[in-house]
Amino acid sequence: MGGQAFGAFDSNRMIGFCLAIPGLKPGGGSYLHSHMLGVLPEYRDAGIGRLLKLQQREDALARGIELVEWTFDPLEIKNAYFNMERLGTIVRRYVRNQYGTTTSPLHGGLPTDRCVAEWWIASPRVRAIVNGSEAPDRPEIVERLPVPADITAIKRQEPKRARQIQQELSNRFESNFSRGLAVVGVERSPEAGTYLFGKWE
């Protein structure tokens, strides 16, 4: 089947990596499912995750692939912001408990509910964003869905409340997606991250 794996190296030390596997959509369209991207904590917030994703995009385009998908936890606003605003993904699908409950401390014992990010890597929107030029106008924002900025601490300290927030979010995501809306952006403030929904053609 093959796959795609890139590493980020500080001299000879691997400090981050990403891994993707190819897939076929009904009808035969090929895409990549990006299964993992991780960077060691001491190397985060330095643009290395973006470097890995840009390399993933370049390689996929060279193979004639125009769609890369991956899942992310909608409670993790930093990741959501990176996906939407720094890479230009959109989201139209929500999956409850995608991986089952895992042993990872990062997941806090919560069901692994996930958004599916679609990265249309040849689109004008993505080209503009990854080239650093101004992104094309967003569609009109018709729904806003806030997530507390301190959700990571809530997951750790108040798991029942975190679960309640997750359930409310999942209902809202699914309701909006059933109306044909897509997440087209994310805003961040000290108090909250906010998913922005609009019509996506």
Partner 1 sequence: MSDAARTPDTGTRRKPDTATRGRGDAAIAVRALAGQREFEGAVELQKQIWGFNDI
Q: Which of residues 5-24 bind partner 1 (CB under 8 A)?
A: 5-11, 14-17, 19
Q: Closest separation between CB of residue 40 and partner 1, Å? A: 7
61 binds partner 1 (CB under 8 A): no
Q: Which of residues 85-114 bind partner 1 (CB under 8 A)?
A: 99, 102-106
Q: Closest separation between CB of residue 74 and partner 1, Å? A: 17
CA distance 85 to 183: 11
* Single residue of 23, 30, 33, 43 touching partner 1 by CB under 8 A: 43
159 binds partner 1 (CB under 8 A): no
132 binds partner 1 (CB under 8 A): no
- Please give the residue ranges that form the binding site for partner 1 (CB under 8 A): 2-11, 14-17, 19, 36, 38-41, 43, 46-48, 51-52, 54-55, 58-59, 99, 102-106
